[in-house]
Amino acid sequence: MRTLTIFLIALVAFEHIYFMVLEMFLWTKPKGIKTFGLKSETFAKNTKILAANQGLYNGFLAAGLLFSIIEKDNKTAIFFLVCVTIAGIYGAYSTKKLKLFYVQGMPAIITLIITII
């Protein structure tokens, strides 16, 4: 793996660790409520378990990407980058928030392209 590839994969992985922390631990805090544009603190409390589950999946994505760096395995990296890309596309589509695609999907797509070439 090239240095640029490793750096970009790590960047996407750490981005998903950040998402995991936001969703699992900060969802009902002012930072989480503001970041996700939640309607109210009550809504945040009522959806806390769902958000934590979503955060756990983001953690798994990060773990897979970090594993691909440790193992120097482009195929594993490509698999997890495709998963992140699909999550970014679906997330933007289902929430009608294009910003989600730019924040989650675009870094994965750029990294995917660099990893493949």
Instruction: Examine the pLDDT at 1 and tell me if it is beyond 90.
Output: no
Domain containing 84 equals: 3-116
Instruction: Examine the pLDDT at 116 and tell me if it is beyond 90.
Output: yes
> Chain-wide mean pLDDT for the chain?
96
Is the distance from CB of 6 to CB of 38 less than 8 angstroms?
no
Looking at the chain, the whole-number percentage of residues with pLDDT higher than 90 is: 98
Tally of domains within the chain: 1
Mean pLDDT of 37-44: 93
DSSP secondary structure code for residue 9 in this structure: H
Report the pLDDT value the prediction gives residue 102, as an integer from 0 to 100. Answer: 97
Residue 110 pLDDT grade (very low, low, confident, very high; cuts 50, 70, 90) = very high
Separation between Cα atoms, residue 9 and residue 97, nearest integer Å: 24
- CA distances to 65, 88, 91 from 33, in Å: 27, 20, 18
Mean pLDDT of 29-44: 94
**87-109: string of b/e by CB count within 10 Å (b at 16+)?**
bbbebbeeeeeeebbeebbebbb
Mean pLDDT of 56-65: 98
